């Protein structure tokens, strides 16, 4: 532990000032009257949306649902400009919320939490930061996001490259000028497919290095008008209520139609309609069994492959872009704008690195088994050490000084994705084992923040000041998370949901796939039973 320069005592330390940290701070202050400090590594609020400023960065949740619902006036006064929210607009929204509720003064910016140790003698957390803070807190609450720890693969020669290189998740604030440059993008996940079309428009030449082709559905992004916003705002209560009790936190009208009971013509009509509408509705409002039944899924997967062949002019390029080694939706589904069309440009080239593996990065570009690709800029759109990576960057220790990293060495173990045995009074907003990344995040974040603050209030009323899940409750939850996941298609792909993108990471399905609505009902039952599964105690 580093030498202290700033010392204090608070009721709660919150880590991170994204959607989670901002709302948690508000609840702690306004509902519980607690003292709280938020530590944030960036120099402003925003979390994911502070760091991910790559060209084309936008959320795949519709804007009117990618926000808070806790304050009706806030919902009525904010106007989104488009169907999907762009990164600068989300950042502006979060800055607005922070200032509107006067939260900024309790946030320490440019400050990264380095360690948090639980002291069993006084049941308090000692939190340390890279700025020399040493804070004692009764509660430690993480709002560190699920996809925040960027991953650049260890390709030989990486440091020898003399050009510019960037990871999409820590993009320079002043932007990158691609004009006249030869650019290479490695990775074709959500970040890659959003940035590739925009970079292609600016760069002299763009080479995309693709490992796994993915399924994409068009976003059909557009600006929205007053009438659209008025309609949403008039129906906000109902929209949110539907989303809160839905499978994924969206207010879509789910059908119970099966792709397998429909005729081929009926399927084509439904898929064409979904394709025209765009976005996640393609999954929710066509045939829900495409995300649970492999045979149903095959019909949607083939439809998307037919669209790729239709859009991409060069048949060899189209062939390379066809996803075949995993079912649609088993990896995080992608929503695109002009992605496939981009391969019809003269200045864009696709390299299939499964057939032509990258040998090394040289001082002047990327060398594959088949030759050299000279580059001025390399963009790593290579993803994140998701769900656990950001926890492990901090030295978090619970009872008996056990490091969290050690407890989770074989995969994360939590109760409800909110708490973990041996780490009393530590709460994780959208932690592993909760719906989190399988949902529209703000819906899950609000539910967790409200669960935590209600629980702290209930503990206080009943005279308890220490909470920790009992080991059996945690074992049962972990088993349930695994059991539910085994029945899904998610386990059929090598994805970051399973940690498969990080060499050496245990292959464990980390989020909870039982659905937002059912999960909420379970949490409500647990709360109504006095926070069943937790051991609540009193320090003295």
The site for ligand NAP (CB under 6 A) is made up of 58-60, 147, 153, 168, 186-192, 194, 211-212, 332, 353, 381-384, 437, 496, 501
C-alpha span between 208 and 217 (Å, rounded): 19
Select 351 or 455, whichever has its Cβ closest to ligand NAP: 351
Q: Tell me the DSSP string of 144-164.
A: --SS-SB-----TTGGG--SE
Q: Smallest distance from the beta carbon of 372 to ligand NAP, in angstroms?
A: 17
Q: Smallest distance from the beta carbon of 188 to ligand NAP, in angstroms?
A: 4
CB atoms near residue 194 (< 10 Å) = 26
Identify the CA nearest to 271 among candidates 261, 285, 289: 285
Q: Are 456 and 527 in contact (CB under 8 A)?
A: no
Q: For helices 516-528 and 236-244, what crossing angle results, to 10°?
A: 80
Select 511 or 515, whichever has its Cβ closest to ligand NAP: 511
Residue with tokens 């079309």: 197
Q: Smallest distance from the beta carbon of 155 to ligand NAP, in angstroms?
A: 7
C-alpha span between 111 and 106 (Å, rounded): 13
C-alpha span between 97 and 104 (Å, rounded): 10
Q: Does residue 194 sit in helix, strand or coil? A: helix
- Comparing every residue's Cβ against ligand NAP, the nearest one is 189
Q: Smallest distance from the beta carbon of 150 to ligand NAP, in angstroms?
A: 8
Q: Write down how long the chain is.
A: 540
Select 365 or 383, whichever has its Cβ closest to ligand NAP: 383
Q: Smallest distance from the beta carbon of 441 to ligand NAP, in angstroms?
A: 9
Q: Smallest distance from the beta carbon of 397 to ligand NAP, in angstroms?
A: 29
Q: Smallest distance from the beta carbon of 56 to ligand NAP, in angstroms?
A: 9
Token digits of residue 225? 């008008």
Select 28 or 312, whichever has its Cβ closest to ligand NAP: 312
Select 186 or 308, whichever has its Cβ closest to ligand NAP: 186
According to DSSP, the β-strands at 182-186 and 377-380 are parallel
Residue 419 pairs in a beta bridge with 415
Select 140 or 498, whichever has its Cβ closest to ligand NAP: 498
Select 20 or 212, whichever has its Cβ closest to ligand NAP: 212
Q: Smallest distance from the beta carbon of 423 to ligand NAP, in angstroms?
A: 26
Q: How does 385-399 read in b/e, with b if 16+ C-beta sit within 10 Å? A: bbbbbbbebbebbbe
Report how far apart, in Å, the C-alpha atoms of 466 and of each of 32, 305, 391, 395, 426 are. Answer: 16, 54, 22, 21, 10
Select 192 or 435, whichever has its Cβ closest to ligand NAP: 192
Select 395 or 494, whichever has its Cβ closest to ligand NAP: 494
Q: Smallest distance from the beta carbon of 252 to ligand NAP, in angstroms?
A: 16
Token digits of residue 335? 């929503």
Token digits of residue 483? 């059991």
Select 463 or 504, whichever has its Cβ closest to ligand NAP: 504
Q: Smallest distance from the beta carbon of 506 to ligand NAP, in angstroms?
A: 17
Q: How does 236-271 read in b/e, with b if 16+ C-beta sit within 10 Å? A: beebbebbbbbbbbbbbeeeebebeebeeeebeebb
Q: Smallest distance from the beta carbon of 78 to ligand NAP, in angstroms?
A: 19
Select 54 or 534, whichever has its Cβ closest to ligand NAP: 54
Q: Smallest distance from the beta carbon of 445 to ligand NAP, in angstroms?
A: 14
Select 112 or 158, whichever has its Cβ closest to ligand NAP: 158
Query: Within its chain, how far is the Cα of 264 from the centroid?
Result: 35
Q: Does residue 114 sit in helix, strand or coil? A: strand
Q: Smallest distance from the beta carbon of 382 to ligand NAP, in angstroms?
A: 4
Select 219 or 312, whichever has its Cβ closest to ligand NAP: 219
Half-sphere exposure of 446 (CA within 13 A, CB side): 17
Contacts of 385 (CB under 8 A, 6+ apart): 149, 150, 151, 392, 502, 505
Q: Smallest distance from the beta carbon of 153 to ligand NAP, in angstroms?
A: 3
- Interior angle at CA 189, CA 303 and CA 500, nearest 5: 105
Identify the CA nearest to 18 among candidates 108, 110, 145: 145
Select 198 or 353, whichever has its Cβ closest to ligand NAP: 353
CB atoms near residue 13 (< 10 Å) = 25
C-alpha span between 367 and 360 (Å, rounded): 5
Token digits of residue 114? 């380095």
């Amino acid at each position: 532990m580093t030498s202290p320069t700033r010392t204090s005592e608070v009721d709660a330390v919150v880590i991170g000032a994204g959607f989670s940290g901002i709302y948690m701070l508000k609840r702690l202050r306004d509902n519980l009257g607690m003292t709280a400090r938020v530590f944030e590594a960036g120099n402003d609020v925003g979390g994911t949306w502070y760091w991910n400023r790559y060209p084309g960065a936008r959320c795949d949740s519709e804007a009117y649902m990618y926000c808070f619902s806790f304050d009706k006036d806030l919902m009525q006064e904010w106007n989104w400009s488009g169907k999907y929210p762009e990164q600068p607009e989300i950042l502006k929204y979060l800055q607005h919320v922070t200032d509107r509720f006067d939260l900024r003064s309790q946030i320490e910016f440019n400050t990264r939490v380095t360690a948090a140790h639980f002291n069993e003698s006084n049941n308090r957390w000692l939190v340390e930061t890279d700025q020399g803070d040493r804070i004692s807190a009764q509660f430690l609450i993480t709002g560190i996001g699920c996809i925040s720890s960027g991953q650049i693969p260890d390709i030989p020669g990486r440091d020898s490259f003399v050009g510019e290189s960037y990871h999409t998740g820590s993009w320079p604030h002043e932007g990158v000028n691609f004009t006249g440059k030869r650019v290479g993008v490695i990775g074709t996940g959500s970040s890659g497919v959003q940035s590739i079309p925009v970079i292609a428009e600016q760069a002299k030449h763009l080479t995309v290095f693709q490992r796994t082709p993915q399924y994409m559905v068009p976003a059909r992004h557009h600006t929205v008008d007053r009438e659209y916003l008025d309609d949403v705002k008039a129906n906000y209560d109902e929209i949110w209520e539907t989303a809160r009790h839905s499978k994924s936190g969206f207010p879509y009208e789910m059908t119970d139609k099966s792709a397998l009971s429909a005729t081929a013509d009926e399927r084509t009509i439904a898929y064409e309609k979904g394709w025209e509408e765009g976005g996640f509705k393609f999954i929710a409002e066509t045939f829900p069994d495409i995300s649970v039944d492999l045979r149903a899924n095959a019909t949607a997967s083939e439809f998307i492959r037919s669209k790729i062949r239709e859009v991409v002019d060069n048949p060899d390029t189209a062939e390379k872009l066809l996803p075949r080694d995993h079912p649609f939706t088993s990896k995080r589904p992608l929503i695109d704008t002009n992605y496939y069309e981009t391969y019809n440009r003269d200045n864009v080239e696709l390299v299939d690195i499964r057939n032509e593996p990258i040998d090394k990065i040289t001082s002047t570009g990327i060398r594959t088994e088949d030759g050299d690709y000279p580059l001025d800029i390399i963009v790593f759109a290579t993803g994140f050490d998701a769900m656990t990576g950001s926890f492990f960057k901090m030295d978090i220790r619970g009872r008996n000084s056990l490091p969290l990293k050690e407890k989770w060495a074989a995969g994360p173990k939590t109760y409800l994705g909110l708490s973990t045995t041996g780490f009393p009074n530590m709460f994780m907003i959208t932690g592993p084992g909760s719906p989190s990344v399988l949902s529209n995040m703000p819906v899950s974040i609000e539910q967790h923040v409200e669960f935590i603050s209600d629980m702290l209030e209930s503990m206080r009323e009943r005279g308890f000041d220490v909470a920790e899940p009992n080991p059996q409750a945690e074992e049962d939850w972990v088993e349930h998370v695994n059991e539910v996941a085994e029945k899904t298609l998610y386990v059929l792909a090598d994805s970051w949901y399973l940690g498969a993108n990080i060499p050496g990471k245990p292959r464990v399905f980390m989020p909870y796939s039982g659905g937002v609505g059912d999960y909420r009902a379970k949490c409500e039952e647990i709360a109504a039973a006095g926070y069943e599964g937790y051991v609540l105690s009193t320090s003295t």
